Each structure stands twice: as C-alpha cells, then as structure tokens.
Structure 1
Amino acid sequence: MAWEVLSIIGIIAFAISGAIVAMEEEYDILGVYILGIVTAFGGGAIRNLLIGLPVSALWSQGKMFTIALVSITIVFLFPKLLLKHWSTWGNFSDAIGLAAFAIQGALFAVQRELPLSAVIVAAILTGSGGGIVRDLLAGRKPLVLKAEIYAVWAALGGLFVGLGLAQGEIALYLLFLILVVCRVCSYLFKWRLPARSYFLNKG
C-alpha cells in the first residue's frame, strides 16, 4: 500500500464530506464544489503556511484535484445512491484520510527540522484543518472540536513522528493502522473528551 493510495482515499473521503455538507445546507452547485475542494485541500494549505512552504505547491497536485472534482461530481449527480451508504463507509474512509494526512503533515514538518510543537500542529492541521474550514464556511460549529475524539488522534500521530518513535516504512504503516483503529473506535463507541458548559445566570 503506497502513501499515494492513502492520500487518494483521504482526498475522496474529504471531498465527498464537503460536498455532502454543502448539499445539506442547500448550497448551489458552485458552493458544493468549493466546499468539497476546501475540505480536501484546506488542511494541506494551512499546513504549508505554518511550516513555510508556498501554498502554490498544492497546485502541482493536478491528479489529486481531478480526483476530488470527479468525487464531488458523482455526489452531486447521484446523492441518494451514495448518501445511504455514507454512514457505513464514510467514517472509515475519513479515518484513513485523517491518519494518512496527519502522518504526512508531521513528516513535512520533521523534514524541515521544525520543533516538536510545530510537528504536532502540522499533523493536526493537515488531518483536520479542512474539516474545520468546511464547518466554518457552512456556518456550523466545527465537529472536530465538539464531537467524537478526532484531532487528538492526529496530534498523537504527530507526537510519535516528532519524537522519532515512528521511523521507517513499517513503523509508519503501523502508526497509520493504530490511528485508523483509534478513530474508528472513537466513532463506534462515542468516546468523548471531558467538556464543561458555562452558563452565566443573569439576575
């Protein structure tokens, strides 16, 4: 299994996710494409800004953009065919995308010899940044910050890569599998981080 294959799966999952959210909000066709593309590539763009790479580097991924556009088009043309199965395979594909992108983001930062904190942030932004931008553009509270444990798994991947605990192809693939399993379990068993609501009572 090559990293390119994992990236393709992640791109498809995130592009479809953005398109579905746009259709739920009743956006027009332009809005559907914009939200799909932003979800698929937003995290990488934010990461590039963080670690000093030109955002324009994303435009060299012509094949990935084509895959994202085709995925969005299929969702737009055949929404009922895909949406009824989305709850089954959508979250698994999303977990694959999260794990692959988080590790890639961390590796980008390590290659530029950035500190551990930057490696972790790069992993989080690459893995979940697109989803955060998607929800903000859709006028929603980012699910990454209030639903099942999500960004934590990206941070964990960044931590392992940044500390040098996942070096070599086998170790990276093992880390990838661990992150996917953790994300799927957090979805299936509805794991949550501690949260506290604050209400100001006005007399």
Structure 2
Amino acid sequence: MLTWDFLSMIGTIAFAISGAIVAMEEDYDILGIYILGIVTAFGGGAIRNLLIGVPVSTLWEQGTFFQIALLSITLIIIFPHHLLKHWHKWGNFTDAIGLSAFAIQGALYAADMNHPLSAIIVAAVLTGSGGGMIRDLLAQRKPLVLRSEIYAVWAIITGLLIGLNIFTSAVELIILFITITALRVLSYTYKWKLPTKQFKLN
C-alpha cells in the first residue's frame, strides 16, 4: 500500500506539472492552467475506474492527491519564467515519470480487484497515458500516445509484468518504476519509433 501511495504521489505531481506547462505554452489563463493540470493528473484514472468497475465517486476520495496536484500547479505558475524555458529539456522526463508511476498504479489497482491479465494491461495503459491523451486533445495537439514514438508500449509491458506476477514486492515495483522510466527516456532521447503505415488517396 505504501508503494502504491508513493507511485500515485509521483505520478500526480509529474502529470499535474506536465498539464500546467502545456496550458502555459498554449496561453491558457490561470483557471485553464489549473483545469488542464488536474485533468492530466486524474483523467486517466477516472477512465480506468469506469472500465474496470470502480465507482467514479472514488476519485473524490483522493483529497490529499488533489491538494498535492494543486500545490504542484501553483508552484509551476509562480516559478520564474526564465527557468521554465528549459522545460523542453526536462519536460519529457517528468512525463516519463508520470507514465511509469501511473502505469504501475493502474496495473496494481486492477490486479488487486482480481481482474484478468487483459484488464490489468488496459488499466495500466489508461492510467499511464489516458491523462496525457486528454491533455493533448484539450490543448489541440496530436496525442503523444498515438504517434509513432514509443510511449504506450511501456505501459503495456508494465501491465503484462504485473499481471503475470513477475513484479510483486515493493522493491521489485520500485525497480520496475525506474526501469520503465529509463526506457521511456531512452526512447525519446534516441527517437525509437514503432513502424508506421501510411495511406494517401491520390
């Protein structure tokens, strides 16, 4: 449970910051920055809950995490803007942390409810990338998860490893978190891509 809470906290902070930064890049007002940050942090979990049979009201029981998200967004808003210019250097890293942490959290959630492997994988993908997808759509950007760049694949692998009970203990989950984060960082650093198939009408 402590590992679960730890990963949830990391993911919440990472995605809240990610959403706030994207909102600032798109010139959203203060309210828009908070909304996009909150949606990014909790959107994936809300979709996951709907699909695996968890009451939507469960989301509102995460009062502490909402406060953490709001604090993270506030800190980004008051952060010196000249330092935020370096966002592109570490923004992907923050997103990688959120992806890894929330994918593990989502998989653990589904596994704890004794769902089959397929549901655990779906829960990992939705929790890990759902918030980012909603963020990109609201910001009128092409969703990162739908590009050729490797992104959701790492969430799929996470769900598979947890669903097969390969990673179960707290130490193993921390190792998995570090590994998935590192793989995501490597994938965008070295521009690893999935195969694409284009079709154009003449």
- TM value normalised by structure 1: 0.91
Separation of aligned partners in 2, 1:193 and 1:168? 31
1:140 aligns with 2:145: no
Separation of aligned partners in 1, 2:123 and 2:100? 13
Identity of paired residues, percent? Answer: 66
Q: 1:111 to 1:118 in 2, by over 3 A?
A: same
Q: 1:95 to 1:35 in 2, by over 3 A?
A: same
> What displacement does 1:66 show?
1.1
Query: Which residue in 1 is equivalent to 2:86?
Result: 85
The C-alpha deviation readout for 1:36-83, integer Å capped at 9, x for no partner, is 100011111111111111121111111211111122122223351442
- TM value normalised by structure 2: 0.91
Separation of aligned partners in 1, 2:80 and 2:145? 24
Separation of aligned partners in 1, 2:91 and 2:140? 22
What root-mean-square deviation, in Å, do the aligned CA atoms of Structure 1 and Structure 2 show? Answer: 1.8
> Conserved in 2, the CA contact under 8 Å of 1:43 and 1:128?
yes
> Conserved in 1, the CA contact under 8 Å of 2:20 and 2:37?
yes
Q: Give 3-state SS (helix, strand or coil) of 2:141's partner.
A: coil
1:31 aligns with 2:32: yes
> Conserved in 1, the CA contact under 8 Å of 2:110 and 2:120?
yes
- Per mean C-alpha deviation after superposition, the further-off stretch among 185-194 and 164-173 is 164-173
> What displacement does 1:195 show?
1.0
Separation of aligned partners in 1, 2:103 and 2:71? 24
Q: 1:3 to 1:113 in 2, by over 3 A?
A: closer
- Per mean C-alpha deviation after superposition, the further-off stretch among 147-156 and 124-133 is 147-156
> What displacement does 1:147 show?
5.2
Letter in 2 for 1:137: L
Query: Which residue in 2 is equivalent to 1:113?
Result: 114
Separation of aligned partners in 1, 2:112 and 2:137? 31
> Conserved in 1, the CA contact under 8 Å of 2:7 and 2:105?
no
Query: Which residue in 2 is equivalent to 1:124?
Result: 125
For structure 2, which runs of at least 5 residues remain unmatched after alignment? none
> Conserved in 2, the CA contact under 8 Å of 1:148 and 1:190?
yes
> What displacement does 1:3 show?
4.0
> Conserved in 1, the CA contact under 8 Å of 2:52 and 2:123?
yes
Q: 1:142 to 1:79 in 2, by over 3 A?
A: farther
Separation of aligned partners in 2, 1:168 and 1:15? 27
> What displacement does 1:14 show?
0.8
Separation of aligned partners in 2, 1:82 and 1:2? 32
- Per mean C-alpha deviation after superposition, the further-off stretch among 191-200 and 162-171 is 162-171
For structure 1, which runs of at least 5 residues remain unmatched after alignment? none
Letter in 2 for 1:73: T
> What displacement does 1:19 show?
1.3
> Conserved in 2, the CA contact under 8 Å of 1:7 and 1:101?
yes
Letter in 1 for 2:40: T
Separation of aligned partners in 2, 1:84 and 1:10? 23
Separation of aligned partners in 2, 1:28 and 1:116? 42
Separation of aligned partners in 1, 2:193 and 2:67? 36
Q: How many residues align?
A: 201
Q: Give 3-state SS (helix, strand or coil) of 1:107's partner.
A: helix
1:25-104 matches, within 5 Å, as: 25-78=26-79, 80-104=81-105
